[in-house]
Amino acid sequence: MTAETSSKARRLGEPLLYALYAGALTLYVACLFYASIRAQTTLTSDLPLARAGEWSAPLDDVFIHFDFARAAARGYPFQWSEGNGYSSGGTSLLYPWVLALGYWVGFRELSLMVWAGIVACVCTFALLLGARRLLRDFPRWTSYLVPPALLGIGVLDWSLFSGMEVALFLGLWTAALVAWDDLLRGPPGLAPPSGSGPAWLLGLWGALLVATRPEAAVLVFLFGTSAAWVHWRRRGARRALVTLLATGLPGALVIGAQSLANLALTGETTAAGALVKLELHHPHLSRAQVWDAWWFHVRYQFMRVGDYHLSTVRGLGFLPLLLAAVTLLSRRTRGVGALLITSAIGWVAIVALNGQVRWQNERYTMPALTWILLAAVVGTAVLLTHRPALGARGRWLRWGTVVAAVAAVGSFAWFQRPKFRDQLWFFGRASRNIRDQHVRTGRLLSAMQPPPARVLVGDAGAIPYLADRPALDIIGLGGFRGLPFARATRQHVGAAIELLERMPAAERPDLLAIYPSWWGTFPLWFGDVIAEVPVTGNVICGGASKVLYRPRWEALEGSGAPFEIREGERVAAAVDVADLLSEAEGAYELDATGYIEMKLLAHPALPARDVWDAGRIAPQGSRHRLRFSGLSPQRALRVVLRVAPAQSSAVTLTIAGHEPIELELEPTEGWRELGASIPESAVSESLELDIHALRGEHVLYHVFAIQGD
Q: CB neighbours of 324 closer than 8 A, spacing ≥ 6? A: 337, 340, 341, 372, 375, 376, 378, 379
In 3D space, the residue among 561, 528, 553, 562 whose CA is nearest the CA of residue 610 turns out to be 553
Determine the pLDDT at residue 20: 96
pLDDT in tens, 496-549: 999 999 999 999 999 999 999 999 999 999 999 999 999 999 999 999 999 999
CATH fold of 569-708 reads Jelly Rolls (2.60.120)
Q: What is the mean pLDDT of the chain?
A: 92
Determine the pLDDT at residue 2: 56
pLDDT in tens, 558-599: 899 999 888 888 999 999 999 999 999 999 999 998 899 999
Kindly tell me if the per-residue pLDDT of 444 is higher than 80.
Answer: yes
In 3D space, the residue among 638, 639, 640, 646 whose CA is nearest the CA of residue 617 turns out to be 646
Which residue type does 259 have?
A: S
Q: Whole-angstrom Cα distance, residue 628 to residue 622?
A: 20
pLDDT in tens, 184-241: 988 887 777 777 788 999 999 999 999 999 999 999 999 999 999 988 888 888 888 9
Kindly tell me if the per-residue pLDDT of 6 is higher than 60.
Answer: no
DSSP single-letter state for residue 435: I
Q: Is 29 exposed, middle or buried (0-12, 13-18, 19+ CB in 10 A)?
A: buried
Q: Whole-angstrom Cα distance, residue 257 to residue 252?
A: 8
Q: What is the mean pLDDT of residues 645-660?
A: 88
Residue 80's pLDDT band (boundaries 50, 70, 90)? very high
Region for residue 520 given its phi and psi (left: phi exceeds 0; alpha: psi -120 to 50; beta: otherwise): left
Q: What is the mean pLDDT of residues 326-331?
A: 92
Q: Which of 12-16, 83-87, 686-690, 700-704 has the lowest mean pLDDT?
A: 12-16
Domain segments of the chain as ranges: 181-277, 438-556, 569-708
Determine the pLDDT at residue 115: 98
pLDDT in tens, 460-496: 779 999 999 999 999 988 888 889 999 999 999 999 9
Determine the pLDDT at residue 244: 93
Kindly tell me if the per-residue pLDDT of 607 is higher than 90.
Answer: no
pLDDT in tens, 352-402: 999 889 989 999 999 999 999 999 999 999 999 877 656 666 677 777 788
Contact between 81 and 472 under an 8 Å Cβ cutoff? The reply is: yes
Q: Report the 3 state secondary structure along 303-342.
A: HHHHHHHCCCCCCHHHHHHHHHHHCCCCCCCHHHHHHHHH
CA distances from 154 to 168, 208, 309, 362, 413 (A): 18, 27, 8, 12, 11
pLDDT in tens, 415-439: 999 999 999 999 999 999 999 999 9
Which residue type does 209 have?
A: L
Q: H-helix or E-strand containing 209?
A: helix 197-212
Does a cis peptide bond (omega within 30 degrees of 0) precede residue 451?
Answer: no
What share of the chain in percent tops pLDDT 90?
75
Q: How much is the pTM?
A: 0.93
Q: Whole-angstrom Cα distance, residue 680 to residue 221?
A: 60
Determine the pLDDT at residue 25: 97
Contact between 668 and 645 under an 8 Å Cβ cutoff? The reply is: yes
Determine the pLDDT at residue 615: 96
Q: What is the mean pLDDT of residues 116-138?
A: 96
Kindly tell me if the per-residue pLDDT of 289 is higher than 90.
Answer: yes
Q: What is the dihedral of CA 129, 132, 133, 135, to 10 degrees?
A: 180
pLDDT in tens, 303-325: 999 999 999 999 999 999 999 99
Q: Would you say how long the chain is, in residues?
A: 709
Residue 151's pLDDT band (boundaries 50, 70, 90)? very high
Kindly tell me if the per-residue pLDDT of 606 is higher than 90.
Answer: no
pLDDT in tens, 45-54: 778 888 888 9
Determine the pLDDT at residue 22: 97
